[in-house]
A and B are shown apart, each in its own frame.
Chain A
Amino acid sequence: MTFSEKLYKSAGLTFPIIATGAALIAASVMNPYLAYVATSWIIFGLLGLSLDIVWGRGGLLSLGQTAFYGLGGYFGSVIVLNLSPVTGNTLIWSLPAGAAFGGLCAAALGWIIFFARMGPLQSTILSYTLTLLLWSLTQSFQLDVGQASIGGDNGLSNIPGMVLSFGGNAEALGPVAVFVATILISALVYLLTRWLMKGTFGRVVDCIRIDAQKAELLGYDVRMYQVANFAYAGAVAGVAGALFGAWANYLSPSIFSVQEALLVPIYVLVGGLGTLSGAFVGAIAVGGLSYWLGGGAVGGQTTLILGVVLIFLVLFLKNGMLGALGDLWRQYLPDTNAAARDAGAVSIDPDVLEGLLKDAAAQAGPAKNLATRDAFKRFGGVVPVNRVSRLFEPGRPSSLIGPNGAGKSSFLKTCVGIYTPEAGSIYLGSDDDITRAPIFERVRRGMGVKNQKPQVFGSLTVFDNLWMAAYARTRNKTAATEISGKIMGMLGFTNQAAVQASVLSHGQQQWLDIGMVLCLTPRVILLDEPAAGMTNEETRELSSLVRILARYTTVIVVEHDMEFVRTLEGHVTVLHQGEVFAEGDIDTLRANDRVLDIYLGRRAHV
């Protein structure tokens, strides 16, 4: 790996550290007024960071980050007003209090949004509503808490500045020292955030942003991760709010205003969405520009200009400054996706596969049955699953066939939990009723699912896709690396380990998706049209894979390809209009006139 590549990989660590060092050196020669103003840019950068965590990583545009910022600021300052006369030091009170209150409020809103599984529109509007509500409520909100007096639109004044030393008559820091302290605190928060986002937590959050359903199909409790991410961002905003209170010595309801809220996405978009450090770059760029223009040139029209700037940013500079720089840099780096072109062929090695399956059986227990009893699902007048009672067992693959609209995929989705049945029940194993269990719960109890469309995390590498699946089950990094490595080798992906999944062909994505299911070492496997998009050779490999799998687990395959179904030599169920129409082995069914009728539509049978 060249120096440039190494530097590119660690850019998120190296450059912020260099920038922090440079800022600290600059602080020694900076005039106090500039230091005072620049402190606010850093604080706004921290606020921007909280939005980037929610939006760039979590995938939800929140217009409510200033709400948590303001709430954290108010709460932290109220605590400081009461406790700092005793202790001197203010930061030990304001920062944890701000973080805790901002985080708690965000957790409460996030809990409503994510546990109700609201759509993106609903979530954004709800976060905006919170901001606007706080803006109007705080205008008349008056409360005295000990020394602190929140006076509606008169605000909360006399907030102590930053004090580091302890004791009753400790002195507040000067502007340059405040600048230095703010930089160090922000750098710490940034490093903590980067560590979180680089770790498994951040990788799961990335997966959820790319495809939340797939993340849940791997067994991750998507809602918990989303709430945790949202709450963490709220805590970061709360810290920023507490710093702002100490910097301004004053807080007023205008902190919740639309003008204030508007700035946050501007910082993020200027710097680069999803880059984390971009928020600081954006805040410093915007703040520095208006400082340089002197404020007088644009006068009172800042709001107007910011509104227009936001429109232009959205229209023309989608990736922001850091995004554009990164794109430019990547052009001079070797293309990691080049390996996609020399793909190896898939070859299923029965010995490796059986070894994996025996290990899985040893760890996760024996294969489980899947049974439905009178499962019933309707959409308005259409009944795609009409009182289906089936028992699927290990030993031989079970296939579901039927003409288009027969309800095959709907039946599968009802078993998986994507659809909730109106009546009837579904059992996993002997008597584990999973009818109402959420998807991830079913996966954790041993269900592995591949949907009709290949679902892979496009911007993750092939290896990471498999690793995320293996980690979901093992919760152990070493074990996950071992399992995903073996399966990657078996699928012939070894040369493409570092290739992004999105550049793979459709057939390769099918294999990768199947590989992810295998990494889960499921006890029941449901495959929806796995052979679609595969070559004849690949279909043969798939057939042998499914047959081996069926010896160790329960396998249910929905397929259109009759030849493929024949090679599986398993039990076949024909569905028609949501009901079980016929069953048996494929040759008997091929000779069955009634089955041919519904496939060819020869006679009006029903």
Chain B
Amino acid sequence: MQIDYLATVLLSSLSSASILLIATIGLAVVFGLMGVINLAHGEFLMIGAYTALTATQSGIPYVLSIPIAVVVTMAIGATVEILIIRRLYGRLFDTMLATWGLSIAFYQLAVLIFGTVSPGIGMPRYSLKIGAYSLAGYPLLMIGIAALMGLFVYGLMTRTVYGMKARAAIQVPEMAQAIGIESSRVNTLTFSIGCGLAGFAGAVLLPIVPATPSMGFAFVIKAFLTVVVAGPVTLTGSVLAAIGLGGGASITASFLTSVAGDAFFFLVTALLLWLYPMGISAKWRRKM
């Protein structure tokens, strides 16, 4: 086996893992800071993708359409938090059911508005040559984007007043309230940021994953499993789980078949959950 082939496989696997991480990180933020699983996360991704698509179609440059997608999803996210999530704090199953209902409603709305087939936008054409192989450049760019998103979230949680408040509010809610943190406002912002990250993911992945109403379902399975495997320490846990599961699946897929890649993903997930039933980070001492 040549070294250039190996490098190609490694790079493309890393980029698959990064794509998984990009799609997951918003979900992980909301789960880590609010203890809420947003089953409509995939649909926020879809909303982000359609927003970016619509913006590009009306003549706005693609790069500028990404912040628009973020703003739109953040606004919808904040509304959803105030109208639904806030009323269900501490009721894990009910929150899941309500966001599930939301997910299906968004899906059907997208079918109504956009139909089931949408044109993709062309992938920016540049590529990287490694020995005899060439790799599309845009998916490789995702490695950098994923790293930037991770750094952004880390900075947000550790370097800003909001981040400190949010982390305090999830760890000891009563104490956080007692020292004057208005946790409901913090939570609205957290949920909105989580949805914004999903919108960003949908927009930035648009050249790779064309917008369809059902794209959310396709993405969420792996994103959910990543967060669930990650456990309570969501940021580090999700990065590790995404690289391990997504990267491993992609490597398996490139040497065997794509079905084998999926099988790897689900089997390793099941194995990890068997060994760490509350997630791999359940017993870690670090909390970020």
Report if A391 contacts B (CB, 8 A): no
Q: A128-B224, A129-B221, A307-B108 are in contact. Are A120 and B92 (CB under 8 A)?
A: yes
Contact in complex: A314, B221 (CB < 8 Å): no
Q: How far is the CB of B277 from chain A (nearest CB, A)?
A: 4
| B102 contact from A112, A129, A311, Cβ within 8 A | A311
Q: What residue in chain B is nearest A119 (Cβ atoms)?
A: B278
Report if B151 contacts A (CB, 8 A): no
Report if A301 contacts B (CB, 8 A): yes
Q: Write out the residue numbers on chain B whose beta carbons fall within 8 Å of the beta carbon of A129.
A: 221, 224-225, 266
Report if B103 contacts A (CB, 8 A): yes
Q: Write out the residue numbers on chain A whose beta carbons fall within 8 Å of the beta carbon of B279.
A: 119, 122
0/1 string, A91-132, CB within 8 A of B gives 1: 000000000000000000000100011111110111011001
Q: Chain A's interface: helix, strand, loop or mixed, by majority?
A: helix
Q: Write out the residue numbers on chain A whose beta carbons fall within 8 Å of the beta carbon of B102.
A: 307, 311
Complex CA gap A117/B273 in Å reads 9
Report if B186 contacts A (CB, 8 A): no
Q: What residue in chain B is nearest A132 (Cβ atoms)?
A: B221
Complex CA gap A516/B195 in Å reads 48
Report if A308 contacts B (CB, 8 A): yes
Q: Write out the residue numbers on chain B whose beta carbons fall within 8 Å of the beta carbon of A259.
A: 104
Contact in complex: A262, B104 (CB < 8 Å): yes
Q: Write out the residue numbers on chain A whose beta carbons fall within 8 Å of the beta carbon of B266.
A: 129, 133
Complex CA gap A224/B234 in Å reads 31
Contact in complex: B100, A310 (CB < 8 Å): yes
Report if B128 contacts A (CB, 8 A): no
| B217 contact from A126, A132, A315, Cβ within 8 A | A132
Q: What residue in chain B is nearest A114 (Cβ atoms)?
A: B277
Q: A119-B277, A122-B278, A301-B108 are in contact. Are A307 and B101 (CB under 8 A)?
A: yes
| B221 contact from A120, A133, A304, Cβ within 8 A | A133
Complex CA gap A120/B279 in Å reads 12
Contact in complex: B101, A262 (CB < 8 Å): yes
Q: A120-B92, A125-B37, A125-B224 are in contact. Are A314 and B97 (CB under 8 A)?
A: yes
Q: Write out the residue numbers on chain A whose beta carbons fall within 8 Å of the beta carbon of B103.
A: 258, 307
Report if A542 contacts B (CB, 8 A): no
0/1 string, B1-44, CB within 8 A of A gives 1: 00000000000000000000000000000000000010100000
Report if A309 contacts B (CB, 8 A): yes
Q: Chain B's interface: helix, strand, loop or mixed, by majority?
A: helix
Q: Write out the residue numbers on chain B whose beta carbons fall within 8 Å of the beta carbon of A122.
A: 228, 273, 277-279
Report if A303 contacts B (CB, 8 A): yes
Contact in complex: A304, B274 (CB < 8 Å): no
Q: How far is the CB of A7 from chain B (nearest CB, A)?
A: 31
Report if A296 contacts B (CB, 8 A): no
Contact in complex: B37, A121 (CB < 8 Å): yes
Q: Write out the residue numbers on chain A whose beta carbons fall within 8 Å of the beta carbon of B274.
A: 112, 116
Contact in complex: A314, B278 (CB < 8 Å): no
| B84 contact from A133, A265, A301, A315, Cβ within 8 A | A315
Q: Write out the residue numbers on chain A whose beta carbons fall within 8 Å of the beta carbon of B224.
A: 125, 128-129
Contact in complex: A303, B104 (CB < 8 Å): yes
Q: What residue in chain A is nearest B276 (Cβ atoms)?
A: A116
Report if A497 contacts B (CB, 8 A): no
0/1 string, B89-115, CB within 8 A of A gives 1: 000111011101111111111001000
Q: What residue in chain A is nearest B39 (Cβ atoms)?
A: A128
Report if A172 contacts B (CB, 8 A): no
Q: Write out the residue numbers on chain A whose beta carbons fall within 8 Å of the beta carbon of B148.
A: none
Q: A118-B273, A315-B88 are in contact. Are A304 and B98 (CB under 8 A)?
A: no
Q: How far is the CB of A601 from chain B (nearest CB, A)?
A: 24
Report if B270 contacts A (CB, 8 A): yes
Q: Write out the residue numbers on chain B whose beta carbons fall within 8 Å of the beta carbon of A119.
A: 277-279
- Chain B residues 196-218 with CB under 8 Å of chain A are 217
Report if A306 contacts B (CB, 8 A): yes
Q: How far is the CB of B276 from chain A (nearest CB, A)?
A: 9
Report if A61 contacts B (CB, 8 A): yes
| A117 contact from B87, B96, B217, B277, Cβ within 8 A | B277
Complex CA gap A309/B97 in Å reads 11
Complex CA gap A296/B274 in Å reads 48
Complex CA gap A120/B94 in Å reads 12
Report if B285 contacts A (CB, 8 A): yes
A selection of 6 A-B contacts at a CB cut-off of 8 Å is A117-B277, A119-B277, A121-B228, A129-B266, A303-B107, A307-B108
User: B interface vs A, CB < 8 Å?
Assistant: 37, 39, 84, 87-88, 92-94, 96-98, 100-109, 112, 217, 221, 224-225, 228, 266, 270, 273-274, 277-279, 285
